[in-house]
Each structure stands twice: as structure tokens, then as C-alpha cells.
């Protein structure tokens, strides 16, 4: 039976949960305790599982660490995986996104950071290069900062050199040449917090996701507004009808099935709680034409928000759906959101979750295997104590 | 000349477990140059204390003989012989 790994990044550390059935979970002790974990990437390409973690100390700054043995040991490049070139005069504030590319581009990993920047690694996340085309973009001086900071928080690679990013604030930008040049792609996306008609850029797009089957179809959860694009981001139309609110942070796409997406609505930007104080996930199976409210197993009363990366899906069959709240609760569904169970409670604010179903190959270097082979290892909790 | 350096316990994992050390440095050195010496030997420590622009991180303080360097000349603050240089995290967090 496959093991599912759920990595939970919080305001004060990382927890790793594992399950054989995605209903009963074992939770690790904290890794990187007292350190913010705003980004997680789980790379299962090439028959190994690499955990990539963006950590940030309030005192000692951000860095990227990775583990190839499911968190038994962690490695950090001595000189840092993500560092601005000297001529930029900039320093990384927070690593918001670590996203492995597709299986046909092994070794490629994307990062989105604060200040607004996108980075590409070709060595599996050991080192990243700044995408200068976006860094030097003429719009940069007009991009703003969302409440959480000015960041490229969503990086969605597509086929043939296409990558979409979303930034707050700035909106959606697209490259079709692998990151060399970038164009805003926000036509149809609102920006109610600005006077006049919606601008070419400057929107506060909270999250974007690509359709599993049609790579030219994308979905966006905006700072008020839920949208779909059928033309690679050239234009967007509302798919908010049927939702209790068009505000929220989450946008998840099914990994295999066309037209299936999940959102987690919040009342409004001025009232960032689930509608009615009742947490619910909403799923569409027809690309946003209609939505179903899913709340079985979720708490009757929940006044905490779910942040943009505090929800994810796995690649299981059926797909698992995971949601973490700023109140430190983490819920898992093994049936695409039809019902949820609790993974963890009373953790610090959940900033991000990522899940992967691990086969025998990916588990080949599990802690138990390492112990059996006599490999020496220092536990993360010892390192961090 | 020799300078006594005190390092935060929270960063001991980056300095081979050491929280104090005596460093031999050139005369008329500065805090910046002293941190360069430390960073050359302990690169991760260097990144924890200064960002990639070379700026001291906002919530890291450095004291030279009890004086916080931001009240002096920042990282250009001279370090006299036999000085005690203390690197410590500031009061921050929640």
C-alpha cells in the first residue's frame, strides 16, 4: 500500500504527517521549530523524494533546505540556494513558492520570492538563477505589496517554455520563452481597490492553477473574483456564480481530470473568515460553471482563514485534498473533498501544505531503511533544538 | 591583534557548536571585516547575520565592548585590540 506524505509548514516550524490510507495519520515532531515555513516543494521525479523547504527566521533571514530522506537529515547549500546577484542591490526576504517542473524537465524547479522575483533551478533545487526578464521588467516600479508582502507567490510551469506567475500586487504574467520575457495577462480580472477600469496589470491575483488536461486553460482566485481563462491567460471570465463569495486565497486543480477545481471561499477582504463561520471547500467539476459545497468532517465553527498555499491536492486515486487553517488545524480528504478527517490540531498558523503519494521507489530511502542499512543520521529535531 | 567574539547559541549549529572564540585579525579592523573572517570560515553563519547585500539583518545586533554598533558607525565601527564583540539576536518574534 502506498504511503502518503503531507508536509505542513507553519509560522513556527514544519511537521511531516504520513498515512497508509489518508484517514489515519502519524505526525512527526517539529522540524525547524520557531522558524517560519512559508513554502514546501515535494519532488518525486526520478525515483527519489526530495523535500525542499523555504524557511525564514525572523532574526536570521530566509534560506532553502532540502532532504532526500524524508526529513531524517537536512542539507543547506553553504552559500545559499537563492541569492540575489550583487548588481540588483536586493536581498531575499521570503521564499513563497518552490515548485518542481514536470517529469519531462527533470531537475527544473521554480521558486517565487519576495521581493517579487522568479527563479529557476536546473539542478533539482540546489541552486537557483534569477529570471532577469521579470526582475528587469519595466512594470516593476508600479508593482505593489499585498498584506503579506510583495511577492511572486504562484509559479505555474506549462508546456514548451510557457510559465505563468501570479504576484501580489501585479497580477498574472506569462512567459513563452522559458523566462526570458514576460507579459501581463490580466484582461478581464478586476481590481476593485483601484479607481477606474481594470488596468493591464496591478491586480492582486491570489492564486492560479492550470487545468490538468488543457494546458491553455487556467483558473484564478483573485482578491475578489474567481476566473477562468481558456486562452492561456489572454483573457479571463468570471466563474464565481454559485459560490458564496468571490474572495479567498486558494485555487487547486485536479492533477488528471479536466475541469475539476477547488476553492475555499472567505467572506470578503474586510471579513476574512469562512462564510457563516463554517469552513467549507467548494468543488467544480465543470470548469467553474457550477460548484458544490463540501464540508463533511470540517468543523461547524471556524473563524480562521485558509491561506493561499495552505491547501493542496495529492496525485492519489481518488485525489486527496488537504486544508490547513490559521488556527493550526489540518484536514485531509481521501475522496476529492466529499469528506474530511483531522490530520493535526493546535499547530501554529498553517502557511502551506504539500502532499505526495509515495511508491516503493520513493520510499526506498525512508528512515526505517536507513536505520536498517546502518546509515548515520542526525535527526532534525536534534539539529534544531 | 586578538578579539574575543561571542556568538548566539541559536547559531551554534552554524559554527561547529562554538559560541565564543578568540580571533586573530589585522589591526584597525572593523565589524564588517571581522564578520568577513567569520563568514569565510562559517558561510552559513555569515548568511544568518548579514543578507546578500552585506547589510546586517534587522533583528541581529552587534556590540563592541558593550556598545551597539548601530549607535556607532554601523558595520564600519572599528574593533580595537582585545575588544569583546558580541553578536546576538534582538528581541523580536511572537
Q: Please list the pLDDT of chain A residue by residue as tens digits (385 residues).
A: 699 999 999 999 999 999 999 999 999 999 999 999 999 999 999 889 999 999 999 999 999 999 999 999 999 999 999 999 999 999 999 999 999 999 999 999 999 999 999 999 999 999 999 999 999 999 999 998 877 889 999 999 999 999 999 999 899 999 999 999 999 999 999 998 888 888 999 999 999 999 999 999 999 999 999 999 999 999 999 999 999 999 999 999 999 999 999 999 999 999 999 999 999 999 999 999 999 999 999 998 999 999 999 999 999 999 999 999 999 999 999 999 999 999 999 999 999 999 999 976 566 554 444 444 433 333 333 233 2
The whole-number pLDDT of residue A192 equals 87
The whole-number pLDDT of residue A200 equals 94
Question: Which H or E run contains B32?
Answer: helix B31-41
Closest chain A residue to B51, measured at CA: A91
Q: Which residues does chain B have within 8 Å of residue A128's beta carbon, measured at their own beta carbons?
A: none
Asked whether this complex has an ipTM greater than 0.85, the answer is: yes
B67-68, strands of its sheet edge to edge: B20-24, B2-6, B84-89, B60-64, B67-68
Distance between CA atoms of residues B43 and B46, nearest Å: 5
CA distance to partner chain A, nearest, from residue B37 (Å): 15
DSSP code, position A49: -
Q: Which residues does chain B have within 8 Å of residue A89's beta carbon, measured at their own beta carbons?
A: 53
CATH code for the structural domain at B2-89: 3.10.20.30
The whole-number pLDDT of residue A370 equals 46
> Given CB atoms, is B42 within the 8 Å cutoff of chain A?
no
The residues near A19 (Cβ < 8 Å, ≥ 6 apart) are A3, A4, A6, A25, A26, A332
- pLDDT tens-place values along chain B, 94 residues long: 999 999 999 999 999 999 999 999 999 999 999 999 999 999 999 999 999 999 999 999 999 999 999 999 999 999 999 999 999 999 876 6
Question: What DSSP assignment string belongs to A326-360?
Answer: TTS-EEEESSTTSS-EEEE-SPSPEEEEEEEEE-T
Answer yes or no: do A60 and B93 touch at CB < 8 A.
no
Answer yes or no: do A91 and B59 touch at CB < 8 A.
no
Distance between CA atoms of residues A102 and A46, nearest Å: 11
Of A238, A254, A236, the closest CA to residue A246 belongs to A238
CA distance to partner chain B, nearest, from residue A79 (Å): 6
CA distance to partner chain B, nearest, from residue A13 (Å): 13
Topology classification of domain A3-384: Methylamine Dehydrogenase; Chain H (2.130.10)
Distance between CA atoms of residues B14 and B33, nearest Å: 19
Interface test with A, best of B42, B52, B59 (most A CBs within 10 A): B52
Distance between CA atoms of residues A223 and A202, nearest Å: 11
Q: Where are the domains of chain B?
A: 2-89
Closest chain A residue to B13, measured at CA: A383
Answer yes or no: do B49 and A79 touch at CB < 8 A.
no
Question: Residues 60..79 of B with a Cβ closer than 8 Å to A: which?
Answer: 60
Predicted TM-score (pTM) of this structure: 0.94
Closest chain A residue to B55, measured at CA: A91
Closest chain B residue to A383, measured at CA: B13
Q: Check if the beta carbon of residue A46 is closer than 8 Å to that of residue A364.
A: no
Residues shown for chain A: 385
Amino acid at each position: 500500500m502506498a504511503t502518503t506524505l503531507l508536509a505542513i509548514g507553519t509560522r513556527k516550524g514544519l511537521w511531516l504527517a504520513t498515512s497508509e490510507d489518508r484517514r489515519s495519520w502519524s505526525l512527526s515532531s517539529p522540524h525547524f521549530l520557531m522558524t517560519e515555513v512559508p513554502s514546501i516543494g515535494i519532488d518525486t521525479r526520478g525515483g527519489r523524494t526530495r523535500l525542499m523547504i523555504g524557511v525564514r527566521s525572523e532574526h536570521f533571514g530566509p534560506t532553502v533546505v532540502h532532504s532526500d530522506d524524508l526529513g531524517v537529515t537536512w542539507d543547506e547549500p553553504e552559500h545559499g540556494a537563492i541569492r540575489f546577484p550583487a548588481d540588483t542591490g536586493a536581498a531575499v526576504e521570503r521564499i513563497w513558492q518552490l515548485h518542481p517542473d514536470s517529469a519531462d524537465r527533470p531537475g527544473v524547479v521554480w521558486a517565487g520570492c519576495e521581493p517579487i522575483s522568479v527563479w529557476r533551478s536546473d539542478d533539482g533545487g540546489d541552486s537557483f538563477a534569477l529570471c532577469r526578464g521579470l526582475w528587469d521588467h519595466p512594470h516593476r516600479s508600479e508593482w505593489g505589496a499585498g498584506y503579506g508582502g510583495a511577492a511572486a507567490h504562484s509559479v505555474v510551469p506549462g508546456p514548451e517554455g510557457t510559465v505563468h506567475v501570479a504576484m501580489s500586487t501585479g497580477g498574472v504574467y506569462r512567459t513563452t520563452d522559458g523566462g526570458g520575457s514576460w507579459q501581463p495577462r490580466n484582461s478581464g480580472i478586476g481590481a476593485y481597490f483601484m479607481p477606474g477600469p481594470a488596468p493591464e496589470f496591478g491586480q492582486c491575483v491570489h492564486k492560479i492553477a492550470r487545468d490538468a488536461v488543457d494546458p491553455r486553460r487556467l483558473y484564478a482566485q483573485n482578491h475578489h473574483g474567481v476566473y477562468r481563462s481558456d486562452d492561456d491567460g489572454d483573457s479571463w471570465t468570471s466563474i464565481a456564480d454559485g459560490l458564496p463569495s468571490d474572495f479567498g486565497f486558494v485555487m487547486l486543480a485536479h492533477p488528471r481530470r479536466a475541469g475539476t477545481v477547488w476553492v475555499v471561499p472567505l467572506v470578503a477582504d474586510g471579513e476574512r473568515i469562512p462564510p457563516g463561520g463554517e469552513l467549507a471547500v467548494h468543488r467544480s467539476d465543470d470548469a467553474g460553471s457550477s460548484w458544490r459545497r463540501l464540508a463533511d468532517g470540517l468543523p461547524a465553527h471556524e473563524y480562521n482563514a485558509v491561506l493561499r498555499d495552505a491547501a493542496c491536492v495529492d496525485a492519489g486515486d481518488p485525489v486527496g485534498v488537504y486544508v490547513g487553517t490559521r488556527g493550526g488545524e489540518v484536514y485531509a480528504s481521501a475522496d476529492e473533498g466529499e469528506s474530511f478527517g483531522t490530520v493535526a490540531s493546535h499547530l501554529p498558523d498553517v502557511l502551506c501544505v504539500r502532499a505526495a503519494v509515495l511508491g516503493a521507489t520513493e520510499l526506498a530511502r525512508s528512515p526505517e531503511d536507513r536505520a536498517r542499512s546502518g546509515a548515520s543520521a542526525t535527526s532534525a529535531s536534534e539539529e534544531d533544538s | 591583534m586578538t578579539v574575543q567574539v561571542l556568538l548566539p547559541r541559536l547559531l551554534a549549529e552554524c559554527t561547529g557548536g562554538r559560541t565564543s572564540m578568540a580571533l586573530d585579525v589585522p589591526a584597525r579592523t572593523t565589524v564588517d571585516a571581522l564578520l568577513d573572517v567569520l563568514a569565510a570560515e562559517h558561510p552559513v553563519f555569515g548568511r544568518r547575520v548579514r543578507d546578500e547585500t552585506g547589510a546586517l539583518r534587522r533583528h541581529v545586533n552587534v556590540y563592541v565592548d558593550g556598545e551597539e554598533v548601530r549607535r556607532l558607525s554601523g558595520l564600519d565601527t572599528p574593533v580595537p585590540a582585545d575588544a569583546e564583540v558580541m553578536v546576538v539576536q534582538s528581541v523580536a518574534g511572537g
